[in-house]
Amino acid sequence: MTDDQLSRVFAALADPTRRSIVTRLAVGDATVNELAAPYDVSVQAVSKHLKVLEDAGVVGRSRDGQRRPCHLKAEVFDLMTKWIERYRQQAEERYQRLDAVLEQMNAAEPDHQRREGQAS
Amino acid sequence: MTDDQLSRVFAALADPTRRSIVTRLAVGDATVNELAAPYDVSVQAVSKHLKVLEDAGVVGRSRDGQRRPCHLKAEVFDLMTKWIERYRQQAEERYQRLDAVLEQMNAAEPDHQRREGQAS
DNA sequence: GACGTATTCAACCCCTTGGTTGAATAACTC
DNA sequence: GAGTTATTCAACCAAGGGGTTGAATACGTC
């Protein structure tokens, strides 16, 4: 699983702890230890989470001495937004089309029984 | 895991097969059997995928006799877009701020060594 | 009611994942 | 080089996910 980047990004953000880390990073860059402090999980666990986020391209990491500060990366959010926006629009269009069809049906044949999910 | 809706939605879309199903549903409503045809997995597997998508609020289902046609739901895409857009903007802003800081540093002290990830 | 079709439920398998603890690596400090 | 701190690697464990097959349910048709 998680074959392409989109899969990795969605999977990465499916975890509440990781989304929480993203929220924290939106405030400002932070190291692994700083990020681990609020959560009552081990530093190693947070390190794993960061690896997942990094592999997904959600965060990047720098080297500052022995620290590895993390920062959000914007590009991957664009990728997701594009994917989502595409289907959001189509879903909305389909709703509108379905409504229009049903209205037409009702107007043309008021006694015609409505059947859902047939608007292909 | 998958405690709230956002987690469920992200987890649901993390699977390529399920994203493929979403793509298919964007073309038009379809039943479980119709959806299962293209993939070389069992109908039961697709049924499971649809349950995941339904629990996440990505698809809805109607009743047409013995068929259960599926259709995309738009609302949940809005939810995701809002969440993503929030961090996309902040990530971009941070980049710009970092760039500005680095430029300032270079302008003020040209011999100052650049250190990444310190813009808190 | 009996049959066929569409769909789901249940049990199982294997692999991944999120967590742990303990050891290893890397860099700074003395 | 020894010690300290930050981070990661390795091994392990429990739980969940995606797949299977076989049985059960629900509806339409004869």
Give per-residue pLDDT as tens, A24-52: 998 889 999 999 999 999 999 999 999 99
* B87/A77 CB distance under 8 A: yes
* B84/A81 CB distance under 8 A: yes
Render B63-99 in DSSP notation, one character per residue: -BTTB--EEE-SHHHHHHHHHHHHHHHHHHHHHHHHH
Residue numbers in B near A84 (CB within 8 A): 77, 80-81, 84
Within 10 Å of residue B98's Cβ, how many Cβ atoms? 16
Compute the distance between CA of residue B39 and CA of residue A69 in angstroms, rounded to an integer: 43
Is residue A111 very low, low, confident or very high in pLDDT (cuts 50, 70, 90)?
very low
Residue A110, pLDDT score: 45
Q: What number is the average pLDDT over the span B83-109? A: 67
Inter-residue contact A88 to B74 (CB < 8 Å): yes
D5 C1' to A66 CA distance, Å: 8
Q: What is the pTM of this model?
A: 0.79
Half-sphere exposure of B108 (CA within 13 A, CB side): 8
Q: Which residues touch strand D (CB under 7 A)?
A: A 1, 31-34, 43-44, 47, 50-51, 61, 66-69; B 1-2, 11, 14-15, 17, 40-42, 44-45, 48-49, 52, 63, 65-66
Which residue ranges form the domains of chain B, and what is each CATH number?
5-73 (1.10.10.10), 74-120 (no CATH)
Provide, rounded to the nearest whole percent, the portion of chain B with pLDDT above 90.
44
Is residue B98 scored above 80 in pLDDT?
Answer: no
Within 10 Å of residue B59's Cβ, how many Cβ atoms? 26
pLDDT in tens, B3-61: 588 999 999 999 999 999 999 998 889 999 999 999 989 999 999 999 999 999 999 99
